[in-house]
Amino acid sequence: MTHPPYVDLPAITAAVSLPAAMDALEEALRAGWPGQDPLRTSVPTRSGEFLLMPSEGPRYVGIKVITVAPDNPTRRLPRIQGVYVLHDADSMTPLALFDAAALTMLRTPAVSAVATRHLARPDATELVVAGTGPQALGHVHAMRAVRPIERVGVVGRTPESTAAFAQKLGDLEIPAYAAGAEDVRKAHVLCLCTTARSPVVPDTWIGDQAHLNVVGSHEPTAREVETATVARSHVVVESREAALAEAGDLVMALADGVPPSVIIADLAELVRGATVDTAGITLFKSVGTGWEDLVVAALAYERLS
Protein backbone atom coordinates (compact mmCIF):
# COMPACT_ATOMS: atom_id res chain seq x y z
CA MET A 1 0.00 0.00 0.00
CA THR A 2 1.30 3.46 -0.86
CA HIS A 3 1.27 6.10 1.83
CA PRO A 4 -1.90 8.23 1.59
CA PRO A 5 -1.28 11.96 1.07
CA TYR A 6 -1.61 14.44 3.93
CA VAL A 7 -3.95 17.35 3.16
CA ASP A 8 -3.30 20.50 5.20
CA LEU A 9 -5.23 23.74 5.61
CA PRO A 10 -3.93 25.52 2.48
CA ALA A 11 -4.69 22.48 0.33
CA ILE A 12 -8.20 22.06 1.77
CA THR A 13 -9.13 25.71 1.27
CA ALA A 14 -7.62 25.73 -2.23
CA ALA A 15 -9.70 22.70 -3.19
CA VAL A 16 -13.00 23.53 -1.49
CA SER A 17 -14.41 27.02 -1.11
CA LEU A 18 -16.92 27.83 1.59
CA PRO A 19 -19.81 28.05 -0.93
CA ALA A 20 -18.77 24.70 -2.41
CA ALA A 21 -18.80 23.10 1.04
CA MET A 22 -22.27 24.55 1.73
CA ASP A 23 -23.63 23.20 -1.54
CA ALA A 24 -22.07 19.76 -1.02
CA LEU A 25 -23.58 19.46 2.46
CA GLU A 26 -27.02 20.51 1.28
CA GLU A 27 -26.84 18.18 -1.72
CA ALA A 28 -25.91 15.28 0.56
CA LEU A 29 -28.90 16.00 2.79
CA ARG A 30 -31.24 16.13 -0.19
CA ALA A 31 -29.79 12.84 -1.47
CA GLY A 32 -30.58 10.98 1.74
CA TRP A 33 -27.64 11.62 4.05
CA PRO A 34 -26.85 11.40 6.85
CA GLY A 35 -26.95 7.73 7.75
CA GLN A 36 -26.98 6.38 11.26
CA ASP A 37 -23.51 7.48 12.32
CA PRO A 38 -22.40 6.53 15.85
CA LEU A 39 -22.30 9.32 18.40
CA ARG A 40 -18.96 10.93 19.19
CA THR A 41 -16.95 8.50 21.35
CA SER A 42 -14.63 9.64 24.14
CA VAL A 43 -11.70 7.43 25.13
CA PRO A 44 -9.76 8.67 28.19
CA THR A 45 -5.96 8.69 28.16
CA ARG A 46 -3.35 9.58 30.77
CA SER A 47 -3.01 13.11 29.41
CA GLY A 48 -6.54 13.78 28.12
CA GLU A 49 -8.83 11.96 25.73
CA PHE A 50 -9.43 10.76 22.21
CA LEU A 51 -12.64 11.85 20.48
CA LEU A 52 -13.64 9.50 17.66
CA MET A 53 -16.17 10.41 14.95
CA PRO A 54 -16.71 7.75 12.26
CA SER A 55 -19.10 8.02 9.33
CA GLU A 56 -20.12 5.96 6.29
CA GLY A 57 -21.31 7.29 2.95
CA PRO A 58 -22.10 5.77 -0.44
CA ARG A 59 -18.53 5.90 -1.81
CA TYR A 60 -16.34 6.68 1.18
CA VAL A 61 -15.98 5.98 4.88
CA GLY A 62 -13.97 8.09 7.26
CA ILE A 63 -13.10 8.79 10.84
CA LYS A 64 -12.01 11.93 12.65
CA VAL A 65 -9.55 11.26 15.48
CA ILE A 66 -9.23 14.24 17.80
CA THR A 67 -6.95 14.48 20.82
CA VAL A 68 -7.74 16.80 23.72
CA ALA A 69 -4.80 17.50 26.02
CA PRO A 70 -5.73 20.14 28.65
CA ASP A 71 -2.09 20.80 29.65
CA ASN A 72 -0.89 21.44 26.11
CA PRO A 73 -1.01 25.25 26.34
CA THR A 74 1.80 25.02 28.92
CA ARG A 75 3.77 23.10 26.28
CA ARG A 76 2.96 25.77 23.70
CA LEU A 77 0.90 23.23 21.80
CA PRO A 78 -2.77 23.35 20.78
CA ARG A 79 -5.20 21.89 23.30
CA ILE A 80 -7.05 20.12 20.47
CA GLN A 81 -5.27 18.34 17.60
CA GLY A 82 -6.19 15.57 15.23
CA VAL A 83 -6.42 13.94 11.84
CA TYR A 84 -9.20 12.81 9.56
CA VAL A 85 -8.71 9.53 7.67
CA LEU A 86 -10.69 9.05 4.45
CA HIS A 87 -11.13 5.47 3.14
CA ASP A 88 -12.67 3.85 0.08
CA ALA A 89 -16.02 2.41 1.18
CA ASP A 90 -15.63 -0.94 -0.63
CA SER A 91 -12.00 -1.85 -0.06
CA MET A 92 -11.51 0.20 3.13
CA THR A 93 -8.20 1.38 1.67
CA PRO A 94 -6.96 4.63 3.26
CA LEU A 95 -7.05 7.35 0.62
CA ALA A 96 -5.98 10.54 2.40
CA LEU A 97 -5.20 12.08 5.76
CA PHE A 98 -6.57 15.55 6.52
CA ASP A 99 -5.75 18.16 9.15
CA ALA A 100 -8.84 17.67 11.33
CA ALA A 101 -8.81 21.20 12.71
CA ALA A 102 -8.70 22.65 9.19
CA LEU A 103 -11.59 20.42 8.12
CA THR A 104 -13.62 21.51 11.15
CA MET A 105 -12.93 25.18 10.45
CA LEU A 106 -14.50 24.75 7.02
CA ARG A 107 -17.42 22.40 7.61
CA THR A 108 -18.80 23.99 10.81
CA PRO A 109 -19.60 27.43 9.33
CA ALA A 110 -20.73 25.72 6.13
CA VAL A 111 -23.30 23.70 8.09
CA SER A 112 -24.48 26.84 9.89
CA ALA A 113 -24.84 28.54 6.51
CA VAL A 114 -27.08 25.72 5.25
CA ALA A 115 -29.35 26.21 8.27
CA THR A 116 -29.28 29.99 7.87
CA ARG A 117 -30.32 29.73 4.21
CA HIS A 118 -33.57 28.14 5.37
CA LEU A 119 -34.21 29.90 8.69
CA ALA A 120 -33.00 33.52 8.63
CA ARG A 121 -35.01 36.35 7.11
CA PRO A 122 -33.97 36.93 3.49
CA ASP A 123 -33.16 40.62 4.08
CA ALA A 124 -30.92 40.04 7.13
CA THR A 125 -28.29 42.77 7.21
CA GLU A 126 -27.26 42.88 10.88
CA LEU A 127 -24.99 40.13 12.19
CA VAL A 128 -23.60 39.77 15.70
CA VAL A 129 -20.98 37.13 16.45
CA ALA A 130 -19.94 36.04 19.95
CA GLY A 131 -16.35 34.83 19.91
CA THR A 132 -13.14 36.06 18.32
CA GLY A 133 -11.46 32.87 17.13
CA PRO A 134 -11.28 31.00 13.81
CA GLN A 135 -14.87 29.75 14.05
CA ALA A 136 -16.14 33.28 14.60
CA LEU A 137 -14.28 34.45 11.50
CA GLY A 138 -15.53 31.47 9.50
CA HIS A 139 -19.10 32.24 10.51
CA VAL A 140 -18.79 35.87 9.46
CA HIS A 141 -17.75 34.74 5.98
CA ALA A 142 -20.47 32.05 5.91
CA MET A 143 -23.26 34.41 6.91
CA ARG A 144 -22.13 36.97 4.33
CA ALA A 145 -22.29 34.21 1.72
CA VAL A 146 -25.99 33.51 2.31
CA ARG A 147 -27.39 36.85 3.51
CA PRO A 148 -26.77 40.53 2.58
CA ILE A 149 -24.91 41.29 5.82
CA GLU A 150 -23.84 44.93 6.02
CA ARG A 151 -22.31 45.16 9.52
CA VAL A 152 -20.90 42.76 12.09
CA GLY A 153 -21.15 43.34 15.83
CA VAL A 154 -18.57 41.53 17.96
CA VAL A 155 -19.04 40.21 21.50
CA GLY A 156 -15.64 39.06 22.82
CA ARG A 157 -14.31 37.84 26.13
CA THR A 158 -12.41 41.09 26.75
CA PRO A 159 -12.49 44.60 25.29
CA GLU A 160 -9.04 43.96 23.86
CA SER A 161 -9.99 40.74 22.04
CA THR A 162 -13.20 42.36 20.80
CA ALA A 163 -11.36 45.36 19.39
CA ALA A 164 -8.69 43.18 17.79
CA PHE A 165 -11.28 40.98 16.06
CA ALA A 166 -13.27 43.99 14.86
CA GLN A 167 -10.04 45.42 13.45
CA LYS A 168 -9.31 42.10 11.70
CA LEU A 169 -12.71 42.29 10.03
CA GLY A 170 -12.11 45.91 9.14
CA ASP A 171 -8.85 44.95 7.47
CA LEU A 172 -10.94 42.57 5.33
CA GLU A 173 -13.21 45.52 4.45
CA ILE A 174 -16.05 44.14 6.58
CA PRO A 175 -17.61 46.90 8.73
CA ALA A 176 -17.41 45.75 12.36
CA TYR A 177 -17.84 47.17 15.86
CA ALA A 178 -17.95 46.14 19.53
CA ALA A 179 -21.55 45.10 20.21
CA GLY A 180 -23.57 45.71 23.37
CA ALA A 181 -26.99 44.62 24.55
CA GLU A 182 -28.94 46.90 22.23
CA ASP A 183 -26.89 45.82 19.22
CA VAL A 184 -27.60 42.16 19.98
CA ARG A 185 -31.30 42.95 20.37
CA LYS A 186 -31.38 44.43 16.85
CA ALA A 187 -29.39 41.61 15.22
CA HIS A 188 -31.06 39.64 12.46
CA VAL A 189 -28.52 36.81 12.80
CA LEU A 190 -26.56 35.89 15.93
CA CYS A 191 -23.71 33.36 15.83
CA LEU A 192 -22.35 31.99 19.10
CA CYS A 193 -18.89 30.54 18.49
CA THR A 194 -17.24 30.41 21.91
CA THR A 195 -15.68 27.87 24.27
CA ALA A 196 -17.81 29.17 27.15
CA ARG A 197 -19.46 26.69 29.49
CA SER A 198 -22.21 29.07 30.59
CA PRO A 199 -24.45 31.47 28.62
CA VAL A 200 -22.59 34.28 26.87
CA VAL A 201 -25.60 36.32 25.76
CA PRO A 202 -28.48 36.86 28.22
CA ASP A 203 -31.95 36.05 26.94
CA THR A 204 -33.01 39.65 27.60
CA TRP A 205 -30.50 40.78 24.96
CA ILE A 206 -32.05 38.69 22.18
CA GLY A 207 -34.83 40.15 20.04
CA ASP A 208 -37.99 38.38 18.91
CA GLN A 209 -37.08 38.01 15.22
CA ALA A 210 -33.49 36.72 15.32
CA HIS A 211 -31.94 33.59 13.87
CA LEU A 212 -29.28 32.01 16.11
CA ASN A 213 -26.48 29.62 15.17
CA VAL A 214 -25.21 28.09 18.42
CA VAL A 215 -22.07 26.08 17.65
CA GLY A 216 -19.51 26.46 20.43
CA SER A 217 -20.11 23.41 22.61
CA HIS A 218 -20.72 19.69 22.22
CA GLU A 219 -20.87 18.63 25.86
CA PRO A 220 -24.06 18.11 27.88
CA THR A 221 -22.68 20.29 30.70
CA ALA A 222 -21.76 23.33 28.56
CA ARG A 223 -24.04 25.88 26.91
CA GLU A 224 -23.99 29.32 25.32
CA VAL A 225 -27.67 30.31 25.65
CA GLU A 226 -30.07 30.39 28.57
CA THR A 227 -33.04 28.08 29.04
CA ALA A 228 -35.36 31.03 28.43
CA THR A 229 -33.92 31.51 24.94
CA VAL A 230 -34.40 27.86 24.04
CA ALA A 231 -37.95 27.92 25.41
CA ARG A 232 -39.04 30.69 23.02
CA SER A 233 -37.20 29.37 19.95
CA HIS A 234 -38.03 27.08 17.05
CA VAL A 235 -35.03 24.73 17.29
CA VAL A 236 -33.39 22.79 14.46
CA VAL A 237 -30.58 20.28 15.11
CA GLU A 238 -28.28 18.09 13.04
CA SER A 239 -29.80 14.97 14.59
CA ARG A 240 -32.10 14.60 17.55
CA GLU A 241 -30.04 11.72 18.95
CA ALA A 242 -26.79 13.70 18.91
CA ALA A 243 -28.43 16.87 20.21
CA LEU A 244 -30.14 15.17 23.14
CA ALA A 245 -26.89 13.44 24.10
CA GLU A 246 -24.34 16.21 23.52
CA ALA A 247 -25.96 19.64 23.21
CA GLY A 248 -25.80 21.16 26.68
CA ASP A 249 -27.87 24.14 25.48
CA LEU A 250 -30.76 21.71 24.93
CA VAL A 251 -29.99 19.06 27.56
CA MET A 252 -30.06 21.63 30.36
CA ALA A 253 -33.12 23.41 28.95
CA LEU A 254 -35.05 20.14 28.85
CA ALA A 255 -33.93 19.40 32.41
CA ASP A 256 -35.40 22.80 33.35
CA GLY A 257 -38.77 21.75 31.94
CA VAL A 258 -38.66 22.86 28.31
CA PRO A 259 -40.52 20.16 26.30
CA PRO A 260 -38.63 18.11 23.66
CA SER A 261 -41.14 19.41 21.09
CA VAL A 262 -39.10 22.65 21.05
CA ILE A 263 -36.99 20.75 18.46
CA ILE A 264 -39.16 21.15 15.40
CA ALA A 265 -36.89 19.56 12.77
CA ASP A 266 -33.49 18.14 12.05
CA LEU A 267 -31.33 19.58 9.31
CA ALA A 268 -32.24 16.90 6.77
CA GLU A 269 -35.96 17.50 7.33
CA LEU A 270 -35.42 21.24 6.98
CA VAL A 271 -33.54 20.91 3.69
CA ARG A 272 -36.10 18.46 2.33
CA GLY A 273 -38.94 20.90 2.84
CA ALA A 274 -40.18 20.65 6.43
CA THR A 275 -42.46 23.57 7.29
CA VAL A 276 -40.81 25.77 9.92
CA ASP A 277 -42.34 28.84 11.54
CA THR A 278 -39.67 31.50 11.03
CA ALA A 279 -41.77 34.39 12.38
CA GLY A 280 -40.15 34.28 15.83
CA ILE A 281 -36.72 33.17 17.02
CA THR A 282 -35.14 30.30 15.11
CA LEU A 283 -32.18 28.49 16.66
CA PHE A 284 -29.84 26.03 14.96
CA LYS A 285 -27.89 24.05 17.54
CA SER A 286 -24.84 22.28 16.10
CA VAL A 287 -22.63 19.78 17.89
CA GLY A 288 -20.74 18.62 14.80
CA THR A 289 -21.38 15.18 13.34
CA GLY A 290 -19.26 12.71 11.41
CA TRP A 291 -21.13 12.86 8.10
CA GLU A 292 -20.33 16.57 7.74
CA ASP A 293 -16.59 15.88 7.87
CA LEU A 294 -16.98 12.99 5.44
CA VAL A 295 -18.83 15.08 2.85
CA VAL A 296 -16.23 17.86 2.84
CA ALA A 297 -13.23 15.50 3.00
CA ALA A 298 -14.60 13.48 0.08
CA LEU A 299 -15.13 16.61 -1.99
CA ALA A 300 -11.60 17.84 -1.25
CA TYR A 301 -10.11 14.43 -2.10
CA GLU A 302 -11.92 14.25 -5.44
CA ARG A 303 -10.87 17.76 -6.40
CA LEU A 304 -7.26 17.12 -5.45
CA SER A 305 -6.99 13.71 -7.13
Contacts of 123 (CB under 8 A, 6+ apart): 148, 188
- Domain identity same for 92 and 44: yes
- Identify the CATH number of the domain in which residue 164 sits: 3.40.50.720
Q: What number of residues does the chain have?
A: 305
φ and ψ at residue 176, rounded to 5 degrees: -145, 155
DSSP 3-state of 257: coil
Indicate the pairing of strand 49-56 with strand 60-68.
Answer: antiparallel
Question: Does residue 231 fall inside a structural domain?
Answer: yes
Question: Does residue 138 fall inside a structural domain?
Answer: yes
pLDDT in tens, the chain (305 residues): 568 999 999 999 999 999 999 999 999 999 987 767 899 999 999 999 999 999 999 999 999 999 999 999 899 998 889 999 999 999 999 999 999 999 999 999 999 999 999 999 999 999 999 999 999 999 999 999 999 999 999 999 999 999 999 999 999 999 999 999 999 999 999 999 998 999 999 999 999 999 999 999 889 999 999 999 999 999 999 999 999 999 999 999 999 999 999 999 999 999 999 988 888 999 999 999 999 999 999 999 999 99
- Domain identity same for 36 and 113: no
Contacts of 51 (CB under 8 A, 6+ apart): 40, 41, 42, 43, 64, 65, 66, 67, 68, 82
- Domain identity same for 48 and 137: no
Question: Does residue 149 fall inside a structural domain?
Answer: yes
Question: Does residue 54 fall inside a structural domain?
Answer: yes
- Domain identity same for 121 and 72: no
- Domain identity same for 180 and 57: no
Edge-to-edge strands, sheet with 94-99 = 6-7, 94-99, 80-88, 60-68, 49-56, 41-44
- Domain identity same for 195 and 237: yes
- Domain identity same for 58 and 125: no
Question: Does residue 253 fall inside a structural domain?
Answer: yes
Question: Does residue 247 fall inside a structural domain?
Answer: yes
DSSP structural state of residue 31: T
- Domain identity same for 87 and 181: no
Question: Does residue 146 fall inside a structural domain?
Answer: yes
- As for how many domains the chain has, the answer is 2
- Domain identity same for 114 and 261: yes
- Domain identity same for 125 and 86: no
Question: Does residue 1 fall inside a structural domain?
Answer: no
- Domain identity same for 259 and 126: yes
DSSP string of 94-133, one letter each residue: EEEEEEHHHHHHHHHHHHHHHHHHHHS-TT--EEEEE--S
Tell me which residue range forms the domain holding 56. Answer: 6-103+292-304
- Domain identity same for 244 and 146: yes
pLDDT at position 278:
84
